Amino acid sequence: MAADGGGGGGCSRVKVVGQVERVDGGSLTYAEFVDRFMRPNLPVVLTGLTSSWRSCRDWMRAAADGHRRVPDLDFLARTFPSPLLQVADCSSREFSDQKRLEMSMREFVDQWVGNSSSASSDGSLLYLKDWHFVKEYPSYVAYTTPTFFADDWLNMYLDSHPIHRDSDIANHKNEINCSDYRFVYMGAKGTWTPLHADVFRSYSWSANVCGRKQWLFLPPSQSHFIFDRNLRSSVYNINDDVSEKQFPEFNNTEWLECIQEQNEIIFVPSGWYHQVHNLEDTISINHNWFNGYNLHWVWNLLHEDYKVAKEYIEDIRNICDDFEGLCQRNLAANTGMNFYDFFVFITRFALANIIELYHIQKPKETALSSAETSNHFVYNLTSVHNVASKMISTEAFDPENMCTISEQNQSAFSDIIKILEEESFRRLLVALSKAYDFIGRGQRNCVKMKDSNQKGCLSMTCLKSDCNVVGHITSFVRVIHGPVDLVMRKRGLYRECHSHTRCSNQQGTNGRGIMLQACNPEIVSRIPEA
């Protein structure tokens, strides 16, 4: 099998057993995408979704042969003169990744053009990666996220919230790097990305605006084959002579291949290790994202990385004033998020889904009224419930450690009234409402969202002028104490769902069942027991 491009080139040494399925995106419904690919966690190439994108017009020019379209590098350098970009040198390894350089857009383009036209190139292969294009140029609408990828909790959250709140973790450079996970990649023929699984074990989607890529995918069930005996180091380049002594099971791997053409979008599921080669000069648009369908993948990664971080410093536990805090700081540095960051995240999405589900139970009071949309919110709350159930038993959420959580994190998840009054939460709720309207109705028929400042109600789809969902929620619970409060307890829910007289913010009640206190018994019956 040919493995054209960088990273060893020539013939691949891996066993390819199949090709990634190709589907016409224009004839695929969202429900079909979920059932066939997102829920079963399978890759797919989608065609027919990029014809209206501005980037597909502006960012390319005709090649000298008149038959192909190639990146218009001069246009890109003039129009988007970013002063500081992260560029990978594909010819140089640094630890487990390629060496990173910093340069301006003009410097990057000049080196690309110089290397392409000169036989005296220094041998470097420069690949612009992780360019936060949407954040840098928000007024230039280069593309529209396809409906299939609209339920993007990660970027919805980062558009209105910081990923970290602790002052000793959050810093200027870190916050820039974590500002969003929407990227543009640009690289000449031969540039490549080493074997990896995506950040947070998120989903990703990658659209080729220009050029062709080769992808090689390894199913999650075989991921242990690419690690050493200690499960610490993984294969860097599958086209190298992989050491059988260091990686004794690598030869057991079986791969899926995909040659991604211009204007095609590939969906990369959670936990699939992949290596990517640019077969031509290429520009791609890439998002990392997660939602209710892969939230458990994120938690599982955090938990595994936490155990590694904890084991590494276990010998100083007895002399450390805040051992758990140190574990969480190390986890945030290594993985990009820690347990408390993640708990704030799921708490706020639980509240947002409650508010939308509360309204959708009353079709005359909302612009979102389909049973399918209701199922989305129920599934999301079930997903949060399942993850919270696993979080309860971790040392980080022991009462002793919960008392030492920073004030920034504590206030970010505990005080429900404060959360519901925050502009950042309102923005998150707007984004969630719009995403499900986009999914349910399509881009052309999006409902007109009401003014977010309407008194009493937070939902953008609520049609009532006197709605008081905030009062309804806070009449049951005002404080979240920990993950146990996001776990649904059916036994008390039926009573709480029909009682507006008992307040569950009393000390010791822990507000159990908050996620369904706005729901009717029919919806409760679809939620699993904790």
Residue 235's region, left for phi above 0, alpha for psi from -120 to 50, else beta, is beta
pTM over 0.75: yes
Give the pLDDT of residue 460.
Answer: 63
* DSSP class per residue in 132-181: -HHHH-TTS------GGG---HHHHHHTTS-S---TTT--HHHHHHTS-S
Whole-number Å distance between alpha carbons of 95 and 73: 31
Q: Please give the pLDDT value at position 168.
A: 78
Instruction: Tell me what percent of the chain is helix, strand and coil, each rounded to the nearest 5.
Output: 40, 20, 40
- The CB density around residue 506, as the number of other CB atoms within 10 Å, is 12
Q: What is the pLDDT of residue 51?
A: 95
Q: Which two tokens stand for residue 487?
A: 């776990």
CATH architecture of 16-149+180-289: Sandwich (2.60)
Query: What's residue 400's pLDDT?
Result: 92
Within the chain, all domains assigned CATH 2.60.120.650 are found at: 16-149+180-289
State both tokens at 26.
Answer: 């224009």
* pLDDT, position 506: 33
pLDDT for position 490: 43
pLDDT at 369: 56
d(CA 387, CA 486): 9
Which tens digit of pLDDT belongs to each residue from 191-232? 999 999 999 999 999 999 999 999 999 999 999 999 999 988
Q: What is the pLDDT of residues 167-183, one digit of tens each?
A: 878 754 444 456 899 99
Can you give the pLDDT at residue 12? 67
Q: Which residue has the tokens 């392409």?
A: 116
Number of helices followed by number of strands (H, E) in the chain = 18, 16
- pLDDT, one tens digit for every residue, the chain (530 residues): 333 334 544 456 899 999 999 999 999 999 999 999 999 999 999 999 999 999 999 999 998 887 889 999 999 999 999 999 999 999 999 999 999 999 999 999 999 999 887 655 667 899 999 999 999 999 999 999 999 999 999 999 999 999 999 887 875 444 445 689 999 999 999 999 999 999 999 999 999 999 999 999 999 999 999 999 998 899 999 999 999 999 999 999 999 999 999 999 999 999 999 999 999 999 999 999 999 999 999 999 999 999 999 999 999 999 999 999 999 999 999 999 999 999 999 999 999 998 888 877 665 555 555 678 888 999 999 999 999 999 999 999 999 999 989 999 999 999 999 999 999 999 999 999 999 989 987 644 444 444 444 445 666 666 566 677 777 788 777 899 999 999 875 433 323 333 332 333 333 334 445 555 545 555 556 665 54
- What one-letter code names the amino acid at 370? S
Question: CA 268: distance to chain centroid?
Answer: 11
Identify the pLDDT of residue 387: 97
